[in-house]
Structure 1
């Protein structure tokens, strides 16, 4: 981000908390897809300017919540639509084709709902699911900087005479600034990983809008500070008890990441075609009147569409695989198969997002690089988001599973 970008803004419990708007109750997969398409058409307008100005999408994320999309994975027994994983991926793909930064904001909302399904007790599930169906958003405070790797953490939840207290510093906290709840991973006094649900407005919670990445600029994926925050016992999930059990939590999280990249790729290809048709000039040696009649451009657009189709097809196939696996007991073998199915999709969505957003300029020509078009946002978004989990390790996981029968490590990045 340039030095002229909007300065970081700090928020605290003294600031206005996010509003809770009445939320529509979505009843099935088809309705979820129709609402996603309608919202995407609206979000597409202004997406470039939001990126250019780094204007956080408060109005848009509130419309997302009011639409009911935030509750589509809540189980039917708790009043939700419990849409298929394939539908969930398509919802993210559609929204991210319109605005991938806005579309990424709820990724942790759904990731945490997966943790709730696996680790929460009945009372916790009832309370959290009801809040989500009523339009409340869940953020995230998991990763930390300055640690050995993504899995190491220094945040601590300790028990005092006055109840539990939470201390730590988090980063890459996508969704936290917009959230009503900020679930935070920490170690308890026995060194076990727990998830503490912190209510926005809690004394000692401070969210700093210091995300300065050159892509996904309006996700506000910055810092969360926790200074002796009081956490009720009923808001603590003992995720250590189920964290290593076979599940679909990691594959579902990765499915969402792949869908975001697929959306970025779709936007890049769409904008490349539109620019070539309306603004690009043919090369002098081509002998054609329009750039869209240049045989080499035609060939490369065909190649981009095939690659995009292949990535989307594997994304849908991965979603279907998770749906099928979820109908039975998820054992170690099933969990591994789910991870591999999603890893295959993640490889292709990463490749097409990067390739399409770079190829756009080669095909559209020099005019496409002008700042007034802001087409570089596609590459910036693709390059930033695909770093979330390195695709080289997806290729390794697939090869090691096929060649040696070794299952991928079990965590949120697999």
Structure 2
């Protein structure tokens, strides 16, 4: 696998909002199995880490890095083996995500909804839809997302799919559309009327379709280059074959929710790893010991050592919970029942509860342990906390604890949706 992240390539690839169809691409490599996926992820992460701080500081969109990421074959690792993919385990998907997120939290988050859409296809798509879109992914095309609305409380004003004899079309506006800026297809949550009732579907909309307007207006203080802006749909035509059942996939036990959440947990875990290792490096090489420690090196300060020990223990615990959650998700995918899916959701909620707290704590304690010199803007060390704080707001961790407690105390199965 060749990773071309030369300065010339980066400079030619950072045109803000450049549509993917205008960019040269090649057929991605094929990932053979789980072990191969992990090796490739580690190589990519090493390359991605080099300029992560500069991309964050300059809000430089990572076109070249995404090309390398997709060309590596990692964006196709959940395509089932019977369709030509590697069909890796959920634990491997999570570890790949965490590995990339430790190097660059934005790059780790960008494919999250790509894999989410692939799971929706696996669960709810028919064989023809699966074959079509799996082939697109194996050829190097990527999915974004347009799921979240811009605040409409009126259900009738949300993004709608209208079906007429003249064709099907979509109208509406979405926000927090992570990855849409970089996508070839934008899986879009739409509402349509059927027999007097509104039902939801996921419509795969071509990024370059007439009437699609992808707006680079994401200005959050973290995850700055995820492309999480807005998308407008103005009478956008879609083919019936591009529309996949969504609501129906949550009316029965499926792993769409747990798979989405395990990737979020992995992103947070990666942020924590990145902050932890940045703190280790800075304290070893640059930090000064506190005067009362009576030591020459900050790394010999006994209270600093204790703090690193505490972080290391909780980081390892989060990693263990993530691996455990992956096994539960795999079991539920193999045999989706009310109980198996609930157990997967609870296991993932446990992982998310700890990955949330450790990602925030590691990003914050980096400065406590490294000292004032670590706050210099040119170092970009604040990105770990900003990225963690931004991403962990995706859904509230307090409800993870509620779901876990209610399951064990009252045997209440958690709700089935993408946020748990």
Compute the TM-score of the two structures, normalised by the length of structure 1. 0.94
Decide whether aligned partners of structure 1 residues 12 and 161 sit closer, same or farther in structure 2, where only a CA change above 3 A counts. farther
2:210 aligned with 1:203: yes
> Aligned partners of 2:157 and 2:186: how far apart in 1?
16
2:269 aligned with 1:265: no
Decide whether aligned partners of structure 1 residues 340 and 209 sit closer, same or farther in structure 2, where only a CA change above 3 A counts. same
> Aligned partners of 1:362 and 1:11: how far apart in 2?
38
Decide whether aligned partners of structure 1 residues 221 and 312 sit closer, same or farther in structure 2, where only a CA change above 3 A counts. same
> Aligned partners of 2:380 and 2:67: how far apart in 1?
25
Contact 1:12 1:207 in 2 (8 A): no
2:138 aligned with 1:133: yes
Q: Deviation digits for residues 100-150 of structure 1, max 9, x if unmatched?
A: 10111000000000000111111000000000011110110010121349x
Q: Deviation digits for residues 193-212 of structure 1, max 9, x if unmatched?
A: 01111112100001000000
> How far off its partner does 1:239 sit?
2.0
Question: What are structure 1's unaligned runs of at least 5 residues?
Answer: 1-8
2:193 aligned with 1:186: no
2:325 aligned with 1:321: no
Decide whether aligned partners of structure 1 residues 310 and 179 sit closer, same or farther in structure 2, where only a CA change above 3 A counts. same
The counterpart of 1:291, out of the listed 293, 298, 301, is 298
> Aligned partners of 2:157 and 2:382: how far apart in 1?
35
> How far off its partner does 1:10 sit?
7.9
> Aligned partners of 1:26 and 1:303: how far apart in 2?
36
Alignment map for 1:304-319 (pairs within 5 Å):
304-319=311-326
Point out the structure with the larger helix share.
2
The counterpart of 1:118, out of the listed 123, 126, 131, is 123
> Aligned partners of 1:288 and 1:10: how far apart in 2?
49
RMSD: 1.7
Corresponding residue number in structure 2 for 1:175: 179
SS in 1 for 2:114: helix
SS in 2 for 1:81: coil
Corresponding residue number in structure 2 for 1:143: 148
Decide whether aligned partners of structure 1 residues 252 and 310 sit closer, same or farther in structure 2, where only a CA change above 3 A counts. same
Choose 197-206 or 19-28, whichever is displaced more: 19-28
Corresponding residue number in structure 2 for 1:366: 372
Contact 1:17 1:200 in 2 (8 A): no
The counterpart of 1:217, out of the listed 224, 233, 238, is 224
Decide whether aligned partners of structure 1 residues 196 and 311 sit closer, same or farther in structure 2, where only a CA change above 3 A counts. same
> How far off its partner does 1:152 sit?
9.3
Question: What are structure 2's unaligned runs of at least 5 residues?
Answer: 1-14
Corresponding residue number in structure 2 for 1:347: 353
> Aligned partners of 1:153 and 1:45: how far apart in 2?
45
Corresponding residue number in structure 2 for 1:5: none
Count of residues paired in the alignment: 403
